[in-house]
A and B are shown apart, each in its own frame.
Chain A
Amino acid sequence: MKKGLLLSLVIAFAVCFAGSAQAFEAVAPEDLKVGWVYIGPVGDGGWTYMHDKGRVAMEEAFPGVTSSIVESVPEGPDSARVMETFVRNGAKVIFATSFGYMDFVQDVAKKYPDTIFLHCSGFKRAENVGTYFGRMYQARYLSGLVAGSMTKNNVIGFVAAHPIPEVIRGINAFTLGARKVNPDVKVKVVWLFSWFDPGKEKEAAKALIDAGADVIGMHADTGSAPQAAEEAGVYVVGYNNDMSKYAPTKHLTAPIWDWGAYYKYTIGKVIDGTWESDDIWWGLKEGFVDLAPFADDVPQDVRDLVAAERARIVDGQWDVFHGPVKNQKGEVVVPEGTAMTDADMLSMNWFVEGVEGEMPK
C-alpha cells in the first residue's frame, strides 16, 4: 500500500515535470481567444472585480485578443463544463480563478492537450496547466503594521473566508505586522466558510466589533466588512482593491492585487509561442501585490515604517516568515536565522502567536 503510494507520487511528479520542455506554438493575437472562469460576479468589488480589471488590462495591451468570462461558477462539477464550453468555442487559453477548480482543470486539461490552462492558487500542474498566485502575505504584513499602529483596544478583528493555507498565511502575516509595532495586539478570527457572502461578511464584522475590535481586517471577496466598519465607526483594512469607497472615512489601506501584470505576462508568452507550464508566485517586487493608498489618519511615522519594511522585502534581505516565529502556544516554529520555505508557506495550517481563533479540526 505504502509502496504503491510512493510509486504513484513518483509517477505524478514525473508527469508534472517531464513535459516542461513542450512549448506551444505562437498565436496571432487575432486568433487568440481567452476565457476566464470567475468564482463571483464581476460586481463583487473585490476578488473577481480585480481579476476582471486584470483581464481588461490584458485586452488593452494586446489589441485583437478576444476574451470572455463566465461569472459565479461554483467550485464543483459545473466548472468543468464551463471550461469545456470555452474550449469548444475556440478558447486557446483559460484562466480558472479559484482554488476549488483544481481537479476539474486537470480533468479538462487532459482532454484538451492543445489548450493552455492557468489555475490560480492551486498546486497541480501539467504540460498544459500552469499555476499562478501572489505573495499576498507580504502586502498583508505591511497592512498589519498599519492596523497594529491604529488600534487602541489592542483587539483587531479578522473576517476570514475559508480555513485554508492561503487565508491562514495572510492572517499570520497580518498579525506579525501588527505585533511588530504593538506586541499586545490580539487578532480575533471569524470564519465564513465562503468566499462570497456579503451578508455573512457584514455580520461577522459586526460581531467582531461587538467583541471589542477597533480595527477590522478581512479576507473575503466583497466590500461588506468595510461597510460594517464604517457604520460602526471603526477602522478597517480592506482587501483585493482599494475599498475606500465602501468605508470613505475609515479605510486605512488594503493589500491589493494587480492581476493585469500577470495576465499580460502570460498572454505575451502565449502569443510569442514561449509559454511553458510554470508556477508563478510573485510578490511586492514584481508589483503583483501592493498596498492601497493610506487614509489621512495614518501618521507619517507609520508610513515611514511601512516604506522601510517594504524596502527590506523588495530587495530580498528579509521576508515575513523569517524566524523567530512562534505559534499560538508560544513555541518557536521557525527558529531565528531560518526562513520558511515556499512549500511550507503554501501548506501553512497553524496560527502564529497573537491570533485568537481556531482551525476547524
Chain B
Amino acid sequence: MALRVEKRFDVPRWMDWGLPLISFALALAVGALLLGLLGVSPLKAYGEMIRGSLGDGYGISETIVKAIPIALCGLAVALAFTMVVWNIGAEGQLVAGALAATAAVRFFPLESPFLMIPLMVLVAAAAGGLWAAFAGWLKARWSVNEIITTLMMNYIAILGLEYFVYGPWRDPMSLGFPLTPTFHDAARLPQLFGTRVHYGLFLALLVAFLLRTALRWSRWGYEIRVIGQNPRAAAYAGMATSHHIVLTLFLSGAIAGLAGMGEVAGLQGRLQPGFSVGYGFTAIIVAWLARLNPFAILVVSFFMGALLVGGDTLQVVMRLPLSSVQVLQGLILFFVLAGEFFRNYKVCLRRREDA
C-alpha cells in the first residue's frame, strides 16, 4: 500500500467553495484546541473575535478600513501574477504612492477637493506605477529577475519615506518629530457616515470591476493571460511580451500606489513612518486565496480585515497575548492555503504494483 499524489485534471465544482469552508472549519477546530490549552473557552474567544470585527457597525466599518489597502494591493499583485510576473513590491509601490500624494499636497495645495483629490489619485498612481515599471523595464530589457528587484525596491521606497519625514518634509511645528504637516481639508478623502471608511473603498471597488472586465473581455486581458499561461505560444502568436511586462507592472504598481494614497489622505491626514504594516505582503496571500479573481479578492480582503480586527478584541477582552492571537490567525491562513493543495491534487491509496 502506498500514498500517491496525483494531479487533478478536472476539479469538482463543489470544491470551489467547499474546500475553503472545510479548511476553515478544521482551522477553527485546531485553534479551539490551542485556546483550550491556554485555558480560554474557544466558543467565547471566537464569539469575541466575531463580535469585535463584525458584531456591530463599528466593527464592520473598521474591518472595511483594514480591508481597503489589502484589497487594492491584492488587486495590484493579482494583475501581475495573472501574467506570471512576480510583483513582490506592492509594499514599496504603496509607499511611493503615499509619498507622491504627500508631495502633491505640499507643492500643489489646491483649494477645491474636486481638483485636489483627483490630482492626488493621479500622482499616486503614476508614482506607484513608475516604481513597479522600473522593475518591469529591467526584466523586459535585461531579463533581471523581478522577484529580486521588486522586493529590494520596497526597502528603497521605505528608506525614501524616512528620508522625507525625518528631513525636508518634517513639520516645523512637530518639535523635531518625524511627521509631515497635516494635510489641508481639501486633501482629506471624505469618510462615510462618521466612520473611518474612506473613499478608498470606491477606488477598490472600481479597480476590481475594471480589472475583472479588462482581464476577461479585452484583447489586452486576453494577451496577458496567454503570456502567463504559455509565454512561448504568446511569442509565437506575435504578442509583444516585453511591452506587456512593463505596462502590466506599471498598472499593478499604480493600483498599489492608490492604496498608499488612501492611507495617508483617508486615514492619517499626514505622512508619518510606519503607516503601512506590510499590506503589500499580506496582499500576496490574499491574491492567492482569491485565485487571482478580482471580486474574490474583495471578499478575501474583508475576511482578512476581520481576522486582524478581531485579533485586537481577543487581546482586549480575553487578555490573550499577541503571540497566541497570531498563532490563531496563522492557523486559519495555513489551513485555508493548504486546502488549495487538495483542489489541485488528489491523494489516493493504491496497492504498490511491484514489477
Q: Which residues of A contact B (CB under 8 A)?
A: 35, 41-42, 68-72, 74-78, 80-82, 84-86, 88-89, 91, 99-100, 102-103, 123, 162-165, 168, 193, 346-349, 360-361
Interfacial chain A residues near B175, Cβ < 8 Å? 123, 165, 346-347
Known contacts: A68-B319, A70-B312, A85-B316. The answer to whether A165 contacts B177 by CB under 8 A is: yes
* B317 at the A interface (CB under 8 A): yes
- Are B176 and A74 in touch, CB under 8 angstroms? no
Known contacts: A85-B312, A88-B58, A347-B176. The answer to whether A74 contacts B274 by CB under 8 A is: yes
Besides A81-B309, A100-B274, 12 more A-B contacts (Cβ < 8 Å) are A41-B323, A72-B322, A76-B272, A77-B196, A78-B277, A88-B58, A103-B182, A164-B176, A165-B176, A193-B273, A347-B176, A349-B176
* B267 at the A interface (CB under 8 A): yes
Identity of the chain A residue whose Cβ is nearest the Cβ of B274 in the assembled complex? A75
Identity of the chain B residue whose Cβ is nearest the Cβ of A78 in the assembled complex? B277
Q: How far is the CA of A164 from the CA of B182 in the complex (A)?
A: 19
Q: How far is the CA of A163 from the CA of B119 in the complex (A)?
A: 32
Identity of the chain A residue whose Cβ is nearest the Cβ of B323 in the assembled complex? A41
Nearest CB in chain B: distance from A55 CB, A: 12
- Size bracket, chain B contacts: 35 or more
* B335 at the A interface (CB under 8 A): no
Q: How far is the CA of A102 from the CA of B274 in the complex (A)?
A: 13
Nearest CB in chain A: distance from B216 CB, A: 34
Interfacial chain B residues near A85, Cβ < 8 Å? 52, 312-313, 316
Question: Would you list 19 pairs from A and B whose C-beta atoms are within 8 A, ordered by A residue?
Answer: A68-B315, A68-B317, A68-B319, A70-B316, A71-B322, A74-B277, A76-B263, A76-B274, A81-B66, A82-B316, A89-B313, A103-B268, A123-B175, A165-B175, A168-B176, A193-B162, A349-B176, A361-B167, A361-B168
Identity of the chain A residue whose Cβ is nearest the Cβ of B309 in the assembled complex? A81
Q: How far is the CA of A85 from the CA of B196 in the complex (A)?
A: 14
- Are B322 and A41 in touch, CB under 8 angstroms? yes
Interfacial chain A residues near B276, Cβ < 8 Å? 76
The 3 A-B residue pairs with the shortest CB-CB distance, nearest first, are: A71-B322, A347-B175, A77-B267
Considering the complex, which residues of chain B in the window 276-295 have a beta carbon less than 8 Å from any beta carbon of chain A?
276-277
Interfacial chain B residues near A349, Cβ < 8 Å? 176
Q: How far is the CA of A71 from the CA of B315 in the complex (A)?
A: 8
Considering the complex, which residues of chain B in the window 130-177 have a beta carbon less than 8 Å from any beta carbon of chain A?
162-163, 166-168, 175-177
Nearest CB in chain A: distance from B306 CB, A: 12
Interfacial chain B residues near A76, Cβ < 8 Å? 263, 267-268, 272, 274-277
Known contacts: A85-B52, A162-B178, A164-B177. The answer to whether A100 contacts B315 by CB under 8 A is: no
